Chain A
Amino acid sequence: MSNPVIAHTLPNGMLVLLKEARSAPVATSWIWYRVGSRNETPGRTGVSHWVEHMLFKGTPQIPVGQLDRLVARNGGVFNGFTWIDYTAYYETLPADRIALGLQIESDRMVNALFEEAEVASERTVIISELEGYANEPETWLDEAVKDAAFTRHPYRHPVIGYRADLEAMTRADLYDHYQTFYMPNNAVLVLVGDFDPDAMLRMAEASFADLPAGPSLPPAPAAEPPPQAERRVTVRRPGPAAYVQIGYLAPGCRSPDFAPLAILDAALSGAKSLTFMGGGTQTNRSARLYPALVERGLAASAWSSISPSRDPYLFELGATASEGVDPAAIEAALVAEVTKIQQDGIAESELSRTRKQMRAQVAYGGESVTNQAMQLGMWEALDSYRRVDTLLDELAAVSAEDVRRVAQRYLTESRRTVGQFIPTEEA
């Protein structure tokens, strides 16, 4: 049995989550900030992601270029990432070096320099990152679908931001965002690994307890108004194949309907690995979309997904068309699978299969301290770390009727945005 999670809130409001995991001499330190593209205002899209980059660009204690060397010299790996609702950083190290992770994170929570020269050089790095994504037809379609699916909520813009905003962003914009959101009371520290939890908590207190709490956070973004009609977007550019992507406005992860929607997703394309970092198994080929689209020769691949989010986001379906297949036929086949579930629900055998798949995916995720900490931190940033455990119970409580009900309620024509990418002849 795995050890319990110890939760401790420091006086400055920062939550510390600790979990002892002794199976390998490794430990991981994660810090999560409740900030992402969700918290961005018009003209400043991409600011959260850019701030994340700047946290690797030096503090007075750890000058630019030294952080990566320091971690490498200690046998560790590190990274950071920004998503719609959160920004996270981690260092995974040999267990006897984990103090370095705490040192780095407590330092850069308050001391990041944001030097003008580094801001300038990072601007072109981030535009280069954007241009890399902009080489992919899937990106063009995905951005068009998100842009149409949301009219007011910031989920409509890409996490990396709009190019024009990136070109205009100033050091003051970045620093202001950092000062607003990088505060102990907006952060969660997660430590998992081969350590004594009491000693580790004392170490965390020594690193973070003296950092001052920040002011209260800006108000939540505007809610997305309920959509009244289907929206459609078509992207025509040179490309290797036609793609279809359909997004239905669906509730966030705090809704009681999230678990039935997760089962619905699993019925369509298998229970997913719960981590970003691999280690799970492929479960889509025995689910509904693969036989209906891929085995029938309509598509080379087909998928569905629901990402846990703070505010209502998208339940998505998509496919890559086989050569010569009209994207309209792909769209019809995807929608037909949704309609079948709306009419007939799913079988008990699909429910029990999904539960077993979820149990397996959780076990695979538990092999690595990095993945364990990622799960705890992500759920705490979105809702509560307890969801890591309770989600399996929530899923077990879902009935076939619940799945049909959520399919009928959310996967409706008026809640959907349909995107098609149609390849044009090369110029």
Chain B
Amino acid sequence: MSYTDSGAALRHVLPNGMVALIRRNPGAPTVSVRGEVRVGAALEPSERGGLAVFTGATLTRGAGERSFQQIVAETEGRGCSVSAGGGTQASGFAGKALAEDLPLILEVLADMLIRPTFPAVEVERLRGQFLTGLRESEQDTGYRASMAAQAMLYPPGHPFSRPSSGSLASVAAISRDDLVCFHRRYHPALTSIAVVGDIDPPAVVAELERRFADWQVAAAPEAVHISDAPPLDCIQRRTISMPGKVQSDLIWAVHGLRRAAPDYYGAMIANMILGQIGMGGRLGEQVREEQGMAYYCYSDIDADLGAGPWMAAAGVSPENVEPAVEAILAEIEQFRAEGPTDEEIDDARAYLTGSLVIGLETSDGIASSLIGIERHGLGADYITRYPAIIAAVDREQVAAAAQKYLSTESYVLAVAGPG
């Protein structure tokens, strides 16, 4: 057991290995709970795609002595909420309440994580909802383009090659036993929980000790490991024709990097300049503001436990697909060749450090930051160190990251639309 009191945030490790992050934020009479178990779809067999997501969603459907109907009646009746879900690299859970109701949501969340009951009737109801959701996704141009891009970027079998929500066939095939088995992967040593709000931290530590003390799992924890994909060596393009649609979504993508990569900050700032800051960075400036071709054009980089895609996306009229692709490629090529300007670096650094206080304004924002810091082992003083980290990123590092990862010769391009 250890206490590390770092300024306002308390980090406490329970005897079973679960990490608690607690911070008092008395700005409103509320409390936010965020947490994650670092197991996810990366651990499921591809023919059971959607298993991690399904398992997470089933936790609210019956836990401990409570049925789903009792859980929602008790929590929603007080204006609180509890939720859980799954993703590729981690399975998240959350709660929100008036501060006076924190004991209730911790009790229910502990039951959900430790003692879910997976009632058969609820499993079938959820399956029906998932299948409808998947049918809706299948007709969503953005989703289809994104999935096509990921399937080209990553080899079959790689967790990033398929959606964490699974397919109609795989979700139909998941049994209640599959859910029970996947839940056995939930392990306190892979779990962190953040509690932030108008609370008394020592009392919350005591409550967590009490609620989670009996979470003991005999098996050793199996963490998510995501391998790097083989590098791209050509241009791959896929077009998906979707009758009835009016607009096309297009996605250009390459492999990005892990959060732990030494050039993470250079790449993150390169992405901000390319397609985030202001109205979508250089891409937004060119494709939206200059050429008026799209309502949205931006880039995004998914740097997490695994190296996710670095992608650029736009929604355009079918006749503008080729001009938009050309404009995006031209911006990427210019950015690779010339790197950012000093002014762009200054703007990005000023935004990242200045906006820190906005991201940490609410208890939800603080709790999410604490969970991210814990996931990546950034250290209890990370928020304090952050401005200095950002100030140290220079133009050369950003230019080097852009040159290393971005490409106009080897990339994937997916277009989904009226076709």
Q: Which residues does chain B contribute within 8 Å of A286, judged by CB atoms?
A: 69, 72-73, 76-77
* Contact status A75-B73, CB under 8 Å: no
Could you give 9 example pairs across A and B, Cβ below 8 Å? A75-B350, A75-B351, A75-B356, A76-B358, A94-B357, A286-B73, A322-B128, A367-B364, A426-B243
Question: A129 contacts the other chain (Cβ, under 8 Å)?
Answer: yes
* Contact status A357-B354, CB under 8 Å: no
Question: A87 contacts the other chain (Cβ, under 8 Å)?
Answer: no
Question: B278 contacts the other chain (Cβ, under 8 Å)?
Answer: yes
Q: Which residues does chain A contribute within 8 Å of B243, judged by CB atoms?
A: 238, 426-427
* Contact status A323-B131, CB under 8 Å: yes
Kindly supply a per-residue 1/0 record for chain B positions 54-90, scoring 1 wherever the CB is within 8 Å of any chain A CB and 0 otherwise.
0000000000000011001100111111010000000
Which segment, of B25-33, B110-118, B201-209, faces chain A?
Answer: B25-33
Which segment, of A104-112, A292-300, A373-381, A399-407, faces chain B?
Answer: A292-300
Partner of B347, one of A56, A72, A131, A287: A72
Task: Knowing A72-B350, A279-B362 are in contact, say whether A360-B80 is a contact too (CB < 8 A).
Answer: yes
Q: Which residues does chain A contribute within 8 Å of B30, judged by CB atoms?
A: 360, 363-364, 367
Q: Which residues does chain B contribute within 8 Å of A74, judged by CB atoms?
A: 350, 354
**Number of A-B residue pairs having CB atoms within 8 Å of each other in the complex:** 199
How many angstroms from the CA of A291 to the CA of B96 in the assembled complex? Answer: 23
Partner of A285, one of B72, B135, B279: B72
Question: B381 contacts the other chain (Cβ, under 8 Å)?
Answer: no
Q: Which residues does chain B contribute within 8 Å of A238, judged by CB atoms?
A: 139, 243-244
Question: B295 contacts the other chain (Cβ, under 8 Å)?
Answer: yes
Partner of A323, one of B76, B135, B353: B135
Q: Which residues does chain A contribute within 8 Å of B246, judged by CB atoms?
A: 131, 134-135
Question: A64 contacts the other chain (Cβ, under 8 Å)?
Answer: yes
Which segment, of A23-31, A182-190, A225-233, A248-256, faces chain B?
Answer: A23-31
Partner of B362, one of A297, A361, A367: A367
How many angstroms from the CA of A121 to the CA of B360 in the assembled complex? Answer: 37
Partner of B132, one of A131, A322, A358: A322
Partner of A75, one of B81, B353, B361: B353
Q: A27-77: which residues lie under 8 A (CB-CB) from chain B?
A: 56, 64-65, 68-69, 71-77
Partner of A73, one of B289, B316, B350, B360: B350
Question: A239 contacts the other chain (Cβ, under 8 Å)?
Answer: yes
A65, A271, A364 interface centre (most CB from chain B within 10 Å)? A364
Identify 12 new A-B residue pairs, CB closer than 8 A, beyond the known A73-B351, A294-B129.
A74-B350, A92-B358, A94-B354, A122-B292, A123-B292, A125-B293, A125-B295, A135-B141, A281-B81, A283-B79, A361-B79, A364-B96
Task: Knowing A72-B347, A271-B79, A367-B362 are in contact, say whether A300-B128 is a contact too (CB < 8 A).
Answer: yes
For chain A, give the interface size range: 35 or more
How many angstroms from the CA of A279 to the CA of B81 in the assembled complex? Answer: 11
Question: B97 contacts the other chain (Cβ, under 8 Å)?
Answer: yes
Q: Which residues does chain A contribute within 8 Å of B80, judged by CB atoms?
A: 281, 360
How many angstroms from the CA of A427 to the CA of B243 in the assembled complex? Answer: 6
Q: A266-307: which residues lie under 8 A (CB-CB) from chain B?
A: 270-271, 279, 281-287, 291, 294-295, 297, 300-301
Kindly supply a per-residue 1/0 record for chain A positions 317-346, scoring 1 wherever the CB is within 8 Å of any chain B CB and 0 otherwise.
000101100000000000000000000000
How far apart are A14's CB and chain B's nearest CB, in angstroms? 26
How far apart are A311's CB and chain B's nearest CB, in angstroms? 29
Partner of B96, one of A71, A127, A240, A281: A281
Q: Which residues does chain B contribute within 8 Å of A271, judged by CB atoms?
A: 79
Question: B147 contacts the other chain (Cβ, under 8 Å)?
Answer: no
Query: Across the two chains, which residue of chain B brings its CB closest to A128?
Result: B295
Question: A264 contacts the other chain (Cβ, under 8 Å)?
Answer: no
Interface residue tally for chain B (C-beta within 8 Å): 69
Question: A245 contacts the other chain (Cβ, under 8 Å)?
Answer: no
* Contact status A240-B290, CB under 8 Å: no
Question: B136 contacts the other chain (Cβ, under 8 Å)?
Answer: yes
Query: Across the two chains, which residue of chain B brings its CB closest to A298?
Result: B128
Give residues in B with beta carbon < 8 Å to A: 25-30, 68-69, 72-73, 76-81, 83, 96-98, 125, 128-129, 131-133, 135-136, 138-141, 243-247, 277-279, 285, 288-296, 315-317, 346-348, 350-351, 353-358, 360-364
How far apart are B23's CB and chain A's nearest CB, in angstroms? 13
Partner of A68, one of B129, B244, B279: B279
Task: Knowing A240-B135, A270-B76 are in contact, say whether A25-B247 is a contact too (CB < 8 A).
Answer: no
Query: Across the two chains, which residue of chain A brings its CB closest to B353?
Result: A75
Interface of A is mostly: mixed
* Contact status B293-A128, CB under 8 Å: yes
How many angstroms from the CA of A426 to the CA of B125 in the assembled complex? Answer: 27
* Contact status B293-A124, CB under 8 Å: yes
How many angstroms from the CA of A134 to the CA of B247 in the assembled complex? Answer: 8
How many angstroms from the CA of A134 to the CA of B244 in the assembled complex? Answer: 10
Partner of B361, one of A26, A128, A129: A26
Task: Knowing A323-B128, A356-B79 are in contact, say whether A75-B294 is a contact too (CB < 8 A).
Answer: no
How far apart are B26's CB and chain A's nearest CB, in angstroms? 7
How many angstroms from the CA of A356 to the CA of B246 in the assembled complex? Answer: 44
How many angstroms from the CA of A368 to the CA of B13 in the assembled complex? Answer: 30
Task: Knowing A24-B27, A123-B292 are in contact, say whether A301-B129 is a contact too (CB < 8 A).
Answer: yes
Question: A237 contacts the other chain (Cβ, under 8 Å)?
Answer: yes
How many angstroms from the CA of A131 to the CA of B247 in the assembled complex? Answer: 6
How far apart are B75's CB and chain A's nearest CB, in angstroms? 8
How many angstroms from the CA of A70 to the CA of B287 in the assembled complex? Answer: 20
How far apart are A404's CB and chain B's nearest CB, in angstroms? 22
* Contact status B98-A360, CB under 8 Å: yes
Question: A366 contacts the other chain (Cβ, under 8 Å)?
Answer: yes
* Contact status A369-B79, CB under 8 Å: no
Question: A206 contacts the other chain (Cβ, under 8 Å)?
Answer: no
Q: Which residues does chain B contribute within 8 Å of A364, judged by CB atoms?
A: 28, 30, 96
Partner of B294, one of A128, A283, A358: A128
How many angstroms from the CA of A23 to the CA of B132 in the assembled complex? Answer: 43
- Which 6 A-B pairs rank lowest in CB-CB distance, beginning with the nearest? A75-B354, A360-B79, A23-B27, A68-B278, A121-B292, A238-B244
Question: A241 contacts the other chain (Cβ, under 8 Å)?
Answer: yes
How far apart are A389's CB and chain B's nearest CB, in angstroms? 16
How many angstroms from the CA of A124 to the CA of B139 in the assembled complex? Answer: 24
Task: Knowing A237-B244, A279-B364 are in contact, say whether A320-B132 is a contact too (CB < 8 A).
Answer: yes
Query: Across the two chains, which residue of chain B brings its CB closest to A320?
Result: B132
Q: Which residues does chain A contribute within 8 Å of B245, judged by CB atoms?
A: 135
How many angstroms from the CA of A407 to the CA of B362 in the assembled complex? Answer: 37
Kindly supply a per-residue 1/0 record for chain A positions 197-235, scoring 1 wherever the CB is within 8 Å of any chain B CB and 0 otherwise.
000000000000000000000000000000000000000
How many angstroms from the CA of A240 to the CA of B83 in the assembled complex? Answer: 26
Question: A359 contacts the other chain (Cβ, under 8 Å)?
Answer: yes
Question: A422 contacts the other chain (Cβ, under 8 Å)?
Answer: no
Partner of B355, one of A77, A270, A284, A322: A77
Task: Knowing A360-B98, A363-B30, A364-B30 are in contact, say whether A125-B77 is a contact too (CB < 8 A).
Answer: no
Q: Which residues does chain A contribute within 8 Å of B98, judged by CB atoms?
A: 359-360, 363
